[in-house]
Structure 1
């Protein structure tokens, strides 16, 4: 894996997004681009947020980084995408949404097109490409034309069951079959693939693989947040240690001191946490265990720093009442 090549590609992505975003923040932690789950946090001009992982080759990204990107995305309710140029040595096709370990991946040109409000209809499903169809519109068009499932199936050279599943939305046609359906019923049967989907369902939230806490303080904070009605996620490959979101839309990003981390190391983390916080409309906090003297030494602008005891009390004071009112 070439770190230089990935950095060059990252700079190209930043340059293309710069004039198309309201805010764009580069997350420089961890220092190596090949060890991060998040490279860029973006707030678009329509006020949508986006977490971005960048890699020249999609197949070079370790599964753990993708799992974490997806976990933070779903638990925080912030859409995420991987931007790559190649997959298994082959250029990514513009206008196609690829899938990698459950995460969406696209070429840079595809993301730019989506930001500029151009619809995407083709996506990768395992080793094949499929077309996103609006099942209700397809059924409506078929009925309006007095066509049976069998007639449509005969024209497509597929089974009646396949057409039935298309209309239920449980199966999508290949690009070739999708083109035939468009020729029969028109382009309005298409349904865009939403790169910026922000409302994960309960099943998606529950399916996210948990990562164990590194230190006891993380476990204590996560438990307290869950008691207060937050959904939490523990991260290991980006600047935050805990991400959390509640039903009121409050998003919290937390750094927890590990071992003997000093003020300098925590300040570097805090600067990146504040950038991520700004770009995702989240609140940021640093928790230093019981080292009260560290609080004055950490260089922060917007983030707030607490001892563990102070932070647990802060959470109780600010969110316990909200949870009781639910």
Structure 2
């Protein structure tokens, strides 16, 4: 066996083990999960939050193309993207949030902490590990102890202006300095980071994809639609929502497979999201379960109203 093949096989085995351990941790906290492989995400988890998780031994192996598609899909589905990994050039520290091209990277142990509502406060920066400070809380506790800005600055070894800056913003602080604050005020002054919160995700990823006749047709029928290359479906469609209602639960998601071959797991994934699945074939109807709606491309293009398509899907 070539050395490269052996390393690849070892990495795949490690990824599989980490995937199973991650799924077990999620299930123990009430999440339903669906496991996939060789996509821009490996686990779909539905529970208190909707999570799309990529499992990697080395987070640095996650390419920009895969990251971008993961972010697009999450924006469409109001989901949070996560990378659960063992290292990112170095072993990941427990309780620390790292980043890969804008997606949070955490260890399995950090995920378990977050699932048990022990949100991490530490982040990895170019300057090393830092911790977020809750500025308004710091000001409240300083005043409660009768400390002036100058007195606290002296204890921290910084300027009065720096303390004022800490209290004005949510800012980051090196661990040695944060330890002094911990000794004075306890850990309540640290800003807890919710790695499951999708609301800060960049909404620019939700856009009209009219790069194919099928996504153009979806748009005409009243859907946002996204072509994918590294997902277990070929098109993700969701009902168009006015901007003021962006945070409301998404209605009428359609996971669409395009082509003449069966895509295993599509129907189960749709059930997990209370969504619809649809096969659109070109020449030959794929051999799939009868409960899954299937249309030729010509039949799909004949729909003219949103309601007509949804009535067809609800028959299954």
**Equivalent pairs, count:** 291
- Please, which runs of 5 or more residues in structure 1 have no aligned partner? 320-326
Q: Kindly indicate whether residue 32 of structure 2 is the aligned counterpart of residue 39 of structure 1.
A: no
**Structure 1: distance between partners of 2:189 and 2:213:** 53
Q: How far off is 1:121 after superposition?
A: 1.5
Matched-pair contact (CA < 8 Å) for 1:122–1:131: yes
1:216 aligns with 2:213: yes
Which residue of structure 1 aligns with residue 236 of structure 2?
242
Q: More relative contact order in 1 or in 2 (CA 8 Å, sep 6+)?
A: 1
- Match in the other structure for 2:36: 27
Which of 4, 13, 35 is the aligned partner of 2:9? 4
Instruction: Kindly indicate whether the alpha-carbon contact (under 8 Å) linking 2:40 and 2:231 is maintained by their aligned counterparts in 1.
Output: yes
| Other-structure match for 1:87 | 88
Q: In the TM superposition, what is the alpha-carbon distance from 1:141 to its structure 2 partner?
A: 0.8
CA positional deviation for 1:19 = 5.9
For the residues of structure 2 that align with 1:155 and 1:3, how far apart are their CA atoms?
52
- The structural deviation recorded for 1:219 is 3.1
Q: Residue 311 of structure 1: CA displacement?
A: 5.2
Q: Secondary structure of 2:253's partner? A: strand
User: How far is 1:129 from its partner?
Assistant: 1.9
Alpha-carbon shift at residue 214 of structure 1 (Å): 5.0
1:54 to partner: Cα distance: 0.9
Q: Is the 8 A contact 1:37 1:68 kept in 2?
A: yes
Pick aligned residue for 2:293 from 272, 280, 304 = 304
Q: Which whole-Å CA distance do the structure 2 matches of 1:121 and 1:301 have between them?
A: 49
- Tell me the distance in 2 between the aligned counterparts of 1:152 and 1:105: 34
Give TM-score, length-normalised by structure 1.
Answer: 0.77
TM-score, normalised with respect to structure 2: 0.79
Which sections of structure 2, spanning at least 5 residues, go unmatched? 312-316
Correspondence list, 1:70-85, <5 A: 70-85=71-86
Conserved in 2, the CA contact under 8 Å of 1:77 and 1:200? no
Give the 3-state SS of the residue equivalent to 2:20 in structure 1: helix
1:135-154 paired onto structure 2 within 5 Å: 135-154=135-154
The 1:214/1:8 distance shift into structure 2, 3 A limit, reads: farther
Alignment of 1:123-162 (within 5 A): 123-162=123-162
Q: CA RMSD in A?
A: 3.0
**Cα distance in 2, alignment partners of residues 5 and 214 from structure 1:** 39
